[in-house]
Amino acid sequence: MTNVPPLVSARGITVTYQRKSLQWVGPKRQPLQALRGVDLDIMNGEVLALVGESGSGKSTLARVLVRAIEASAGTVAFQGTDITHLDGEALRGIRRHFQVVFQDPFGSLNPRLSIGAAIAEPLIVHKIATGEALRKRVAECLAMVGLEPSLASLRPHEFSGGQRQRICIARAIACKPQLIVADEALSALDPSLRDRMIDLFQDLKDRFALTYLFISHDLGVVQRISDRVAVMYLGRVVEIGSTKEIYRHPRHPYTQALMAAVPVPDPVAERRRRYASLPGEPPSPANPPPGCPFHPRCARAIDRCRTAAPLLTEAAATHQVACHLPD
Amino acid sequence: MSAPLIDIQGLSISLRTRDGLKRVVSDVSFTVAPGEALGIVGESGSGKTLSMLSLLQLLPPGAVAHAHRALYDGRDLLGQSRLQMSGIRGREIAFVFQDSLTALNPVITIGRQITEVLRLHFSLSAADAQQRTAELLAKVGIPDPSLRMRQYPHEFSGGMRQRVCIAMALAGEPRILIADEPTTALDVTVQAEIVNLIQQLQRDSGLTVIWVTHDLALLARIADRVIVMYGGRVMEDAAARDLFEAPRHPYAAALLSSVRHDAAPRVPATLAAAQAVSAPAAAGCPFTPRCPEAHDRCRSSAPPLLNVADGTRVACWARDRAPPGSVAS
Amino acid sequence: MDFWRLLFRAPQARNGLIMLAFVVGAALAAPWLAPFSPMHVDPGARLLPPLTPAAESASTYFLGTDSVGRDVLSRLLYGARLSLTVGMLAVLLSTAFGTMVGALSGYFGGWIDDFSAWLIDVQLSFPFLLLALFLLGALGGGTAAVVLILALGTWVNYARIVRAQILSIKNQGYVEAARVTGAGAPRVLFVHVLPNTLSPICVVASFSMAQAILTEAGLSFLGVGLDPSTPSWGTMLNDGRDYLLNAWWIAAMPGLAIGFTVLGVTLLGEGLRDLLDASGPR
């Protein structure tokens, strides 16, 4: 472990949603635990991927890190400063350092604003530029994502999905942030576009020394783009390590199941693979099992798994697993 | 070689738009043998869903479909009357949609939705229908079928709901199941479960499956044959093994290379504003703007789908005579 | 700009716009178009039928005269000004107030929402006519009072529509994107949320204007609206009520004028709706 402080540091993040009871009397509904005591560090200049399925809490965690939603407990620090309880002007000032690219290229852009105005938004909000300087910067951002600057006056509906996502990326880099959170940014795009987008992400990262938090359920994309991977399940990080390590030797049974479930584009190999199915259903965060969250579906579960939730422990250099019986 | 169960030749579909009739599917041809698993891969706008819907006469109003041949078991699908069609839908050819939530009626229990299908196609008493419904739900892997039969769609998770839709599709004991992106909205582990389920059903009852998707890698797992569609046309039609080993059409090659996340050369980026893939250039090959091997002939006339090897057909002026091309050029 | 072009292309909207433009133009040009003063009383020229030439001046009573000898056409033209003004002001007022209430309750929720829901319920529990009569009695009639009453009658519609729109827009991706970028609530509300609620507001506003004109006419007809001597279509209807059998034109002309205007506004509103639904956001 180097001594360089992380860019973003989260400790003990817990997010609990209280759900309103549907009736006047009777039992209260169970609160929904989206995240349970998550610790995470994002190092400067890396691409950290958050991988998990629905209910894993990966999107929630990302939103907590950028203060889009409030954690019920825990702290978030940015460049060493605690930003958990910042408000108003201070919070706005911090926000220019991290931006988000969302999943839906169609919903992320205001249909009534020209794309130039959309890209200018962060610049206006943070009072970075006005007038001619503003226009120039918008044109620069468009060019950087591979779009003609003359298109700035057009509205989002005149662009294709892939182009809209590029516009969202242009908006994200407009105020020169340090961290970009890509929340399933490629999932809504056609497969043949994804590679180009990955190249664009890489290119921007190299040019501007960006740090990425990359949320995705697509293990292939994650392998291509990320330096480290954190696997999440039911509100906890169950495995985290360098991408190479995780893909070469996944240790947590859930990670192993996840990797096994992804189809490989080789019919011969696929016929040979026997996918041992994951029994049971993906869990509901409203009713988390006691102990290890994965134990009801785990082939290796022992008694201890039912009672004590495992903590992240080091299995190898740059590789941590939360399991009582890691591989 | 037994007669194909589905035999489509020259299928074209046009949609009525504000600017007149627009051709969205051109000259699509393929066959499906009994018990085979056919995969149709293409991006949004490739026409894959419309092509399938046309087989069951489920196109939106204002859409027109013609074909030289559109046969199911020797019967002309496009020429069937409404009455005849209702005897085919669900009973001979069943459809599973992508979004299981909207495919199910939210205010009717899933048990009743399935018994409705059963009593429509078979004259069963209410009790027998209930019994059969429970059997179907068990068959698709839903635990506690007699209990869950009385539940509503929103009480199921996405994966379970899709199983319910598959059960509904199987209720009519069809010979063919058309699955249109059934797992796109599901987690990857759930997707694997659904894939296993359908493969199991194929093994048990010889069900013929047509699987429509934009995920080429998925087809490596489940398809015997693969059809690659782009811009409303079939670009390549080959056995799965042959396609994945040596795709001939430039688009198929590019798609495969991106699915493999190769570092190899890919389709160059075009940066013009607002180009819709679903608007095929009037006469030419729709892939021309993105094709690294395009030449003038590609712009002026669309290449026909020709046999280039045993069991492989390609629609490309550049590749129809070349030996099996590799991904790197 | 392309919005106006599309508007002109749609036949319905275009016709509506033309009709409305005609009425507004006639109202604006009243001083030049009206052959007589609308207030000029001439007991010797009472109840003259349309197209009767005038005694002293060279012109004609094109639409006849009323019970005190005033020229119906002139009164119609000047009356248009009042009726249209009242209609437009009422709509503006109710739109502004209703949108504000709806926006605040939709966007912020909480006690603001609860309070405005209560306010709306209180308002709606009063039958409109009762409210109108009470307020007119209290305020003593006059143009301002009528405008206020008309606005009070319709703001609730806007509040509800805007609130519902905002509830659904609030969760759109671009709103979250704006917040994450650091935009404050006012900016999010005015730049992102409100502009996207415009389309239903525009449509309801145009329909409301039609309704306002009719209601004003109705109130005046009942004798509780504007001052009877000021020319407005409603007061003209009121005047003509007693003479329906022998001097039908006194009431029929304003009636036709109202019908024509309302038709124009309604066509425009329908055209707007078709337009904004089709080519608007997505």
* Close Cβ partners of C46 (under 8 Å, ≥ 6 residues apart): C65, C66, C67, C68, C69
CB spacing of A190 vs B44 below 8 angstroms = yes
B270 CB near a chain A CB, below 8 Å? no
Looking at residue A274, what is its pLDDT?
Answer: 66
Contacts of A161 in chain B (CB under 8 A): 44
Query: A98, A42 in Cβ contact below 8 A?
Result: no
**Beta carbons of A270 and B218 less than 8 Å apart:** no
DSSP calls for A197-262: HHHHHHHHHHHHT-EEEEEES-HHHHHHH-SEEEEEETTEEEEEEEHHHHHH---SHHHHHHHHHS
Angle at A71 between CA A69 and CA A76, to 5 degrees: 95
Question: At how many degrees (to 10) do helices C72-108 and C233-240 cross?
Answer: 130
What is B199-220 written as a DSSP string? HHHHHHH--EEEEEES-HHHHH
More confident residue, A237 or A309: A237
Tally of CA atoms within 13 A in the half-sphere of C60 that contains its CB: 7
User: Mean pLDDT across the stretch A148-157?
Assistant: 88
Strands A228-233 and A47-51: parallel
Among A151, A218, A270, the strongest candidate for a mutation testing the B interface, having the largest count of B CBs within 10 A, is: A270
B31: tokens are 């066959």
Helix (H, G, I), strand (E, B) or coil at B40: strand
Alpha-carbon distance of C6 to B309, in angstroms, equals: 54
- Is B271–A190 a contact, with Cβ atoms under 8 angstroms apart? no
B263 and chain A in contact, CB less than 8 A: no
Q: Residue A317: count other Cβ atoms within 10 Å of its Cβ.
A: 9
Q: Examine the pLDDT at A15 and tell me if it is beyond 80.
A: yes
Is residue A298's pLDDT more than 90? no
Nearest to A270 among B216, B221, B273 (CB): B221
Q: Which of A195, A202, A223, A268 best tests the B interface by mutation, with the highest count of B CBs <10 A?
A: A195
Helix (H) or strand (E) holding A72: none
H or E element, residue A314: strand A313-316
Contact A220 B218 (CB under 8 A): no
pLDDT score, position A201: 92
Q: Which CA distances in Å does C234 have to A79, B325, C15, C133, C250?
A: 71, 84, 25, 16, 11
C-alpha of A19 from chain center: 25
| ipTM exceeds 0.85 | no
Q: Does B327 touch chain A (CB under 8 A)?
A: no
Q: What is the pLDDT of residues B305-314, one digit of tens each?
A: 888 888 888 8
Interface with A, mutate which of B151, B256, B259, B278 (most A CBs under 10 A)? B259
Residue of A nearest to B215 (CA): A191
Whether chain B has a CB inside 8 Å of the CB on A205: the answer is no
CA atoms within 13 Å, Cβ hemisphere of B323: 0
Length of chain C: 282
Q: Considering CB atoms only, which of A146, A151, A160 is closest to B275? A: A160
- Whole-angstrom distance, CA of residue B194 vs CA of residue B166: 9
What residues have CB less than 8 Å from B82, skipping those under 6 apart?
none
Backbone angles phi, psi at A41, to 5 degrees: -120, 140
CB-nearest to C182 from A95, A102, A110 is A95
Q: Which helix (H) or strand (E) is B27 found in, with range?
A: strand B20-32
Q: Block means of pLDDT (10 residues each) for chain B, length 329 residues?
A: 84 87 90 93 88 91 90 89 89 91 92 92 90 92 90 89 93 93 86 89 92 90 92 92 90 85 49 38 77 82 84 82 45
Which chain A residues touch C179 with a CB distance below 8 Å?
A: 68
C10-32+80-279 is classed in which CATH architecture?
Orthogonal Bundle (1.10)
Buried b (16+ CB within 10 A) or exposed e, B109-139: bbbebbbebbbebeebeeeebbebbbebbeb
Shortest CA gap A83–chain B (Å):
33
Q: Using 50, 70 and 90 to split pLDDT, how confident is the model at A26?
A: low
Angle, vertex CA C20, rays to CA C81 and CA C143, nearest 5? 25
Domain boundaries, chain C: 10-32+80-279
Report which residue type is found at A54.
Answer: S
Nearest-angstrom CA–CA distance, A150 and C223: 61
Q: Measured between alpha carbons, how far is A158 from A114 in angstroms, rounded to an integer?
A: 10
Judge whether A110 and A118 are in contact, CB under 8 Å.
Answer: yes
Contact C176 A68 (CB under 8 A): yes
Q: What is the three-state SS of C12-47?
A: HHHHHHHHHHHHHHHHHCHHHHCCCCCCCCCHHHCC
Q: What pLDDT, on a 0 to 100 scale, did the predictor assign at position C46?
A: 83
Cα separation, B9 vs B67, in Å, equals 6
pLDDT digits (tens, 9 = 90+) for C243-265: 888 888 888 888 898 889 888 88
List of chain B residues whose C-beta atoms are within 8 Å of the C-beta of residue A217: 187-188
Residues 6+ away with beta carbon under 8 Å from C117: C105
> What residue in A sits closest to B273 (Cα-Cα)?
A159
Instruction: Give the A:C interface size as CB pairs under 8 Å.
Output: 64
Query: Does the beta carbon of A59 lie under 8 angstroms from any beta carbon of chain C?
Result: no
Q: Say if A66 is an interface residue toward chain C (CB within 8 Å).
A: yes
Tokens of B281: 């250039």
Q: Which of chain A's residues have a Cβ under 8 Å away from the Cβ of B273?
A: 147-148, 151, 154, 158-159, 163
- Asked if A125 and C183 come within 8 Å (Cβ–Cβ), the reply is yes
Query: What is the token pair recorded at B94?
Result: 């069943």
* Angle (CA) C26 C29 C31, round 5°: 125
Question: How many residues are recorded in chain A?
Answer: 327
Separation CA B73–CA B212 (nearest Å): 21
Q: Where are the beta strands (DSSP E) in B69-152?
A: 69-72, 75-76, 93-96
- Dihedral through CA A19, CA A22, CA A27, CA A29, nearest 10? -20
Most A CBs within 10 Å, among C179, C180, C189, C194, to test the A interface: C180
Report which of residues A122 and A1 the model is more confident about. A122
| 3-class secondary structure, B178 | strand
Handedness of CA B204, B206, B207, B213 (dihedral sign): positive
- CATH class of domain segment(s) B1-92+176-183+191-264+275-290+298-329: alpha beta
Contact call for A260 and B192, based on CB within 8 A = yes
Asked if B164 and B99 touch (Cβ cutoff 8 Å), the reply is no
Cβ-contact A132, A80 below 8 angstroms: no
- The closest alpha carbon to B168, from B206, B140, B144, belongs to B140
Helix (H) or strand (E) holding C124, with range, is helix C110-125
Asked if C196 is an interface residue toward chain A (Cβ–Cβ < 8 A), one would say: yes
- Domain positions in chain B: 1-92+176-183+191-264+275-290+298-329, 99-173
Residues of chain C with pLDDT under 50: 1, 280-282
Is A108 in contact with C192 (Cβ distance < 8 A)? no
DSSP A33: E
Closest by CA position to B126, among listed B112, B110, B141: B112
Residue A317 CB contacts under 8 Å (≥ 6 apart), including other chains:
none
DSSP label of A31: P
pLDDT of residue B326: 43
Cβ <8 Å between A277 and B260: no
